[in-house]
């Protein structure tokens, strides 16, 4: 799951105890797969196996020792003694499964009733093991988002299309599109769906939390609705000068709360987003470069003042 | 830890699991490989070994003392406490639990979930993915604090952490944690804040320290009608103030989606819109530039005008 790391002390013992039942149920597994399953290196796993090979019941004759074979790069175990069955789970492991399961339940199409029931039963069994109704206190996803996600998951599974209403916050437009979802992925803690978009006739990514509604689409190709341009790509560097250090200002531009500097330079994908963000901060921060962003802000603010029946000067 | 010691600990586990009756210390020293040296050093070794195994959650039972004789204490590990017992479990359930574990890949509990997964896969029951939708859910949470917080919630233990306030002051907060939820892309902790004497909502990514969990368990009771998602919605999003705004036709969706239509004229449409956080609402109004104009209340209108003038002055 993550990079191999050196495990020391009792953690090492835990891994060895867990290796035995894993190998017992995966006889002939390769060292490589074993190292991957235990987030370790083949060298470390080999060391563990070398130790286990010397272990067994008192007496320690060949009859009582575990019988491991791993010379050829494939591992088998015989006479695993009392360690053959997996150890009971730690509280943390149970909690991780409960949350994962709850999250999963939100994404499975709700139509699949037997599966939903089965997950409910697993959740209560695990909660009993954890000794508290954890799943009632921790909500892993928003209900609204869950239903959209489940529609998308279903479409991905059946290679089907869905119709969505999508809100682009930057352009401030809502468009209706038919998309063929291909994959859900996460970047910087935000969930996106990669899809083929009938409106743009190209692959597009959509933020899940900006999809206002999703419906299963049966018609082949609906008439295209209001057109839209793909957002400009390529990063632009903008200069900022912060006069009022507020949490929101720093968070919006991904700046560190502990950084005391009032001058910052950030890379953005979309200058329209940057100018609107600076606008929304109402003077707590100003853009110093590039010039077109500076001008665009003063022009927008002046236009808004006209809306209030005032001129800019 | 030397490989000799690793070997001894494994051998001790095997023997204590295999024995039907309690094994006395002298039996352990005599029969289990690896206990060497003076009587004292054997004793020390054994004490440390017991501590090590217990720290892994292995329950070593002590017993077999006969009150009539000056007997030694005996030790054993009950197989039913050592072995994973999930009751009757089907291949499909194994598949669901595997997916649940997989959802942590790359997230905060990745390593813990992986070891849970290994234990599930060691049960020797073939996973049955046949009737499970081909989905690969990915949990979105990177905060290292999630596990201590969940533990604290399930044990009813108070927590303390450093939190960034709106003005960027970092303050230590002490909270009885009631629950956690994911909302609008963020994780929130809900609990009773000791210094404020009230229910408060905290965003996990604004916690600037490791969460310190109180050693005392069960120091508070969670209200029976507590609903974590609802509390967050009310505290963060339920409108308490109202404004009358003019929105350009077809624009300002983020504002109009939750607003009441008052009057639909030509270019601009009049709405009444509720908000819970004045500062955030000002941000949102300004974001929309000349597409949204505030009519009332007057102080809100004045603030927007003042901000717009400032923006013009700053960007000459």
Give CA–CA dist B258/B261, Å, rounded. 10
Spell out the residues 6+ positions from residue A288 whose beta carbon is closer than 8 angstroms to its own: A239, A240, A241, A294
Assess whether B189 and B203 both reside in one domain: yes
Residue B187 lies in a domain: yes
Q: What is the mean pLDDT of residues B24-29?
A: 90
Q: Give the CB-side neighbour count of residue B165, counting CA atoms within 13 A.
A: 6
What's the rounded mean pLDDT across residues A194-198? 83
B123-158 pLDDT per residue, tens:
988 888 877 766 666 776 777 888 889 889 888 899
φ and ψ at B225, to 5 degrees?
Answer: -90, 15
How far is Cα A185 from Cα B149, in angstroms, rounded to an integer? 26
**Beta carbons of B135 and A186 less than 8 Å apart:** no
Q: When comparing pLDDT for A244 and B200, which is higher?
A: B200
Size of interface A-B (CB pairs under 8 A): 353
Determine the pLDDT at residue A186: 66
Taking the C-alpha atoms of A288, A293, A298 and A302 in order, what is their torsion angle to the nearest 10 degrees? Answer: -160
Which tokens hold the place of B278?
């004045």
**Both tokens of residue B98?**
């595997």
Q: Which helix (H) or strand (E) holds B22?
A: none
Element of type H or E holding A160: none
Q: How far apart are CA A249 and CA A243, in angstroms?
A: 10
CATH code, B37: 1.10.10
Lowest mean pLDDT among A41-50, A94-103, B65-74: B65-74
The CATH number covering residue B186 comes to 2.30.30
Of A2, A100, A104, the CB nearest to B111: A2
Q: Give the number of other CB atoms < 10 A from CB of residue B42.
A: 17
List pLDDT tens digits, range B275-290: 888 888 999 899 899 9
Q: How far off is chain A from B72, nearest CA to CA, in Å?
A: 20
- Of all residues in chain B, the percent with pLDDT exceeding 70 is 95
Residues 108-167 of B with CB under 8 A from A: 109-116, 118-124, 131-140, 142, 147, 150-151, 153-155, 164-167
Q: Please give the share of chain B, as a percent, with pLDDT higher than 90.
A: 46
Which of A18, A82, A283 is nearest residue B307 as measured by Cβ atoms? Answer: A283
CATH of A9-83, one of 1.10.3470, 1.10.10, 3.30.1180, 1.20.140: 1.10.10
Do B119 and B166 lie in a common domain? no
Per-residue pLDDT, A244: 82
**B164: Cβ–Cβ under 8 A, 6 or more apart, which residues?**
A247, A257, B170, B206, B208
Tokens 């609903």 belong to: B227
Confidence check: pLDDT of A8 > 80 = no
Are A115 and B96 in contact (CB < 8 Å)?
yes
Helix (H, G, I), strand (E, B) or coil at B297: coil
Give just the sign of the alpha carbon dihedral B10, B14, B19, B20: positive
CA distance B239 to B242: 7
Tokens of B12: 């001790």
What is the dihedral sign for C-alpha B58, A38, A121, A103? positive
Of B53, B82, B111, which closes a domain?
B82
Q: What is the pLDDT of residues A105-118, one digit of tens each?
A: 877 766 677 888 88
The whole-angstrom separation of Cα A134 and Cα A101 is 12
DSSP B91: H
| Residues in chain B, total | 316
Q: Which range of residues forms the domain containing residue B128? A: 86-139
* A6: Cβ contacts below 8 Å, ≥ 6 apart: A44
Cα(A96)–Cα(A98) distance, integer angstroms: 6
Please indicate, yes or no, if residue B235 is contained in any of the structural domains. Answer: no
Say whether both B247 and B262 belong to one domain: yes
Highest mean pLDDT out of A231-245, A249-263, B109-123: B109-123
Residue B132 lies in a domain: yes
Contact present, A231 and A198 (Cβ < 8 Å)? no
Does residue B267 sit in the same domain as residue B304? yes
Q: With a CB-CB cutoff of 8 Å, which residues 187-226 of chain B face chain A?
A: 206, 208, 222
The per-residue pLDDT for B135 is 66
Report how many domains make up chain B: 4
What's the pLDDT at B67?
61
Query: Do B247 and B215 fall within a single domain?
Result: no
Comparing CA positions, the residue from A220, A215, A227 lying closest to residue A168 is A227
Answer whether A31's CB lies under 8 Å from A74's CB.
yes
Q: What are the tens digits of pLDDT across the range A19-32? A: 999 999 999 999 99
Residue B183 maps to a domain: yes
Q: Does residue A290 have a cis peptide bond before it, meaning omega lies within 30 degrees of 0?
A: yes
Q: Among candidates A53, A105, A102, A115, which has minimal Cα distance to A81?
A: A53
Nearest alpha carbon to residue A141 among A209, A65, A212, A206: A209
The residue among B120, B139, B158 that closes a domain is B139
């Amino acid at each position: 799951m993550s990079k191999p790391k050196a495990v020391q002390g009792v953690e090492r013992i835990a891994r060895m105890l867990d290796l035995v039942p894993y190998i017992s149920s995966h006889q002939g597994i390769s060292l490589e797969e074993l190292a991957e399953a235990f987030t370790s290196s083949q060298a470390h796993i080999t060391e563990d196996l070398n130790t286990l090979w010397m272990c067994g019941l008192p007496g320690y004759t060949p009859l009582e020792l575990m019988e491991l074979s791993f010379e050829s790069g494939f591992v088998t175990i015989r006479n695993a003694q009392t360690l053959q069955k997996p150890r009971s789970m730690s509280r943390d492991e149970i909690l991780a499964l409960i949350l994962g399961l709850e999250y999963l339940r939100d994404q499975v199409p709700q139509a699949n009733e037997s599966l939903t029931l089965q997950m409910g039963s697993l959740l209560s069994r695990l909660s009993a093991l954890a000794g508290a109704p954890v799943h009632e206190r921790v909500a892993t996803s928003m209900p609204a988002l869950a239903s959209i996600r489940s529609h998308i998951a279903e479409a991905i599974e059946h290679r089907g299309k869905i119709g969505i209403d999508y809100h682009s916050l930057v352009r401030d437009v809502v468009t209706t599109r038919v998309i063929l979802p291909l994959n859900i992925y996460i970047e910087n803690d935000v969930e996106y769906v990669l899809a083929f978009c009938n409106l743009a006739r190209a692959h597009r990514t959509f933020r899940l939390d900006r999809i206002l509604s999703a419906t299963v689409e049966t018609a082949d190709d609906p008439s295209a609705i209001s057109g839209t341009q793909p957002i400009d790509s390529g990063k632009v560097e903008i200069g900022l000068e912060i006069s009022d250090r507020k949490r929101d200002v720093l968070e919006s531009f991904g700046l560190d709360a502990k950084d005391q500097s009032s001058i910052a330079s950030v890379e953005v994908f979309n200058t329209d987003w940057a100018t609107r963000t600076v606008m929304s901060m109402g003077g707590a921060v100003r853009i110093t470069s590039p010039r077109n962003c500076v001008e665009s802000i003063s022009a927008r603010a002046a236009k808004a003042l006209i809306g209030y029946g005032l001129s800019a000067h | 830890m030397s490989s000799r010691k690793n070997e001894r600990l494994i051998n001790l586990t095997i023997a204590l699991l295999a024995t039907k009756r309690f094994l006395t210390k002298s039996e352990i020293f005599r029969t289990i490989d690896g206990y060497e040296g003076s009587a004292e050093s054997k004793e020390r070794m054994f004490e440390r070994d017991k501590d090590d195994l217990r720290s892994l959650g292995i329950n070593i039972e002590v017993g077999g003392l006969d009150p009539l004789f000056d007997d030694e204490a005996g030790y054993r590990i009950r197989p039913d406490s050592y072995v994973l017992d999930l009751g009757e479990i089907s291949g499909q359930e194994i598949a669901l639990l595997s997916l649940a574990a997989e959802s942590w890949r790359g997230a905060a509990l990745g390593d813990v979930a992986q070891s849970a997964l290994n234990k599930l896969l060691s049960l020797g029951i073939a996973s049955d993915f046949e009737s499970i939708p081909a989905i690969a859910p990915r949990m979105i949470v990177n905060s290292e604090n999630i596990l201590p917080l969940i533990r604290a919630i399930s044990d009813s233990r108070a927590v303390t952490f450093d939190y960034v306030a709106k003005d960027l002051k970092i303050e230590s907060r002490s909270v009885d944690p009631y629950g956690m939820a994911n909302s609008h892309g963020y994780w929130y902790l809900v609990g009773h804040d000791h210094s404020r004497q009230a229910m408060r909502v905290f965003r996990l990514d604004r916690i600037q320290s490791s969460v310190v969990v109180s050693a005392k368990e069960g120091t508070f009771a969670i209200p029976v009608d507590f609903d974590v998602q609802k509390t967050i919605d009310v505290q963060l999003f339920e409108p308490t103030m109202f404004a009358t705004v003019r929105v350009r036709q077809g624009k300002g969706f983020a504002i109009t989606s939750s607003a009441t239509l008052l009057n639909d004229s030509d270019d601009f449409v009049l709405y009444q819109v509720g908000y819970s956080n004045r500062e955030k609402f000002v941000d949102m109004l300004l974001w929309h530039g000349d597409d949204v104009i505030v009519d009332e209340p007057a102080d809100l209108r004045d603030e927007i005008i003042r901000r717009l003038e400032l923006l013009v002055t700053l960007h000459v």
